Amino acid sequence: MSKETAFYPRLAALTDDWTDLFGYAAPATVTEVLEEYRAVREAAGLMDFSMLRKIDIDGPGALELVNGIVTRDLRTLEVGQIAYGALCDEDGKMVDDCTASLRSPDRIRFCGANDRDAEIFVAAAEGTDVTVRAFTDEMPHLCLQGPKSREMLQPLANRDLSNAAFPYYTLLEGVEIGGVPVFMTRLGYTAELGYELWVEAARALELWDVLIEATEPQGMKVIGMTALDLFRIEGGFIIGGVEYDPSVSPYECGLGWSVALDKGDFQGRAGLERDREETTQRLTSVVLESGGDAATDARLSIDGEDAGYVTQAVSAPHLDGKTLGLAKLPKGVAREVGTALTARIGGEDVVGEVVRHPVYDPERRRVKES
């Protein structure tokens, strides 16, 4: 049975359409999918992401410990910066995609979606002065995403949220939103300007009410997971259980760029060195003539030869409803825009092609420069 987040009482008053996300109840839709989509692309949307696993790794040697597990080189971070990458097992296969926030040289705040994450850090910290604390339910969080998210939040905030003061992939502490203390990050899953607001569970509903009262009159909509799929596929974002499982390498699911093989030894390094050469598939985007979400899991062929498959597909509003999918294809063609292919959907062949990946704001200008 799905667990309830701290925001469930407010969400349950808005919808009876639910799904499960990482073991927690999450709204599938709140109003209407395209209405929610337009709100995020044009104004802002609010979503509950409390189900992401949160872990604090603190103490002398914390940075070195985490750096010996994740694929990114955290030594390159300045205090206040955040790194996105992968946590792999001993063989270099995916456990989780994750972020690591550098609060100080001895304090790392980790966020992922797999209960194995905490187990790995606890085992690594045994016999050291590093403490590992998992606190997912103690600090739920909301995401406010969209081009107007800053102008909605700034009047409520006691800190400067400008691009100069609070750039992409950084954190901000000592923040109050409408008088409610929060831990903020400038991250998101929509390819729009956006923020995460982490709050103590006892004040979660207070934060919700403050945000709803201030932002709904400005066009904000509460967002469900169905709309989130549109954002993530248009934006090229991955999710565990869809783009990867424990048999998949970061190189196959779009995270090869995050593997810092030049940083010295770390968990899974030997397997990652092997997979960099041996893994034959890469993640890309494809557009098909038809299919919509029925194209999910469709096999793809090129010149009559089986080539890969669609991990998930949607009818993409950004492409006027065309079928867009994230797909795994041979690395030689995954970035060859215009490569013709055929998808097998419901017993029929549907033509399509490889397109630029991701299709929505591929340079990430909307999140970086806003």
Show me where the domains of the chain are located. 8-50+140-232, 53-136, 280-370
Please give the class, per CATH, of domain 8-50+140-232: alpha beta
pLDDT beyond 90 at 182 = yes
Q: Which two three-digit tokens encode residue 163?
A: 């691009």
Q: Which two three-digit tokens encode residue 255?
A: 């995270």
Write the CB contacts of 338 (distance below 8 Å, at least 6 apart in sequence): 353, 354
For 316-319, which contacts have Cβ atoms below 8 Å and span 24 or more sequence positions? 316/230, 316/233, 316/234, 316/359, 317/34, 317/37, 317/38, 317/41, 317/230, 317/234, 318/41, 318/234, 318/359, 318/360, 319/287, 319/359
Amino acid at 338: G
Query: What is the rounded average pLDDT of the residues 251-273?
Result: 98
pLDDT in tens, 13-47: 999 999 999 999 999 999 999 999 999 999 999 99
Query: What is the rounded average pLDDT of the residues 345-359?
Result: 98
Q: Which CATH number fits domain 53-136: 3.30.70.1400, 3.30.1450.10, 3.30.499.10, 3.40.50.1100?
A: 3.30.70.1400
Predicted model pTM:
0.97
| Rg, the chain, Cα only | 20
Query: What is the rounded average pLDDT of the residues 265-276?
Result: 98
Write the CB contacts of 203 (distance below 8 Å, at least 6 apart in sequence): 180, 181
State how far the Cα of 249 lies from the Cα of 94, in Å rounded to an integer: 6
pLDDT in tens, 102-153: 999 999 999 999 999 999 999 999 999 999 999 999 999 999 999 999 999 9
State how far the Cα of 82 lies from the Cα of 84, in Å rounded to an integer: 7
44 neighbors 220 (Cβ within 8 angstroms):
yes
The CATH architecture one would assign to domain 280-370 is Beta Barrel (2.40)
Residue 370 has a pLDDT of: 85
Asked, as a colleague might, if the bond just before 358 is cis with ω within 30 of 0, I would say yes
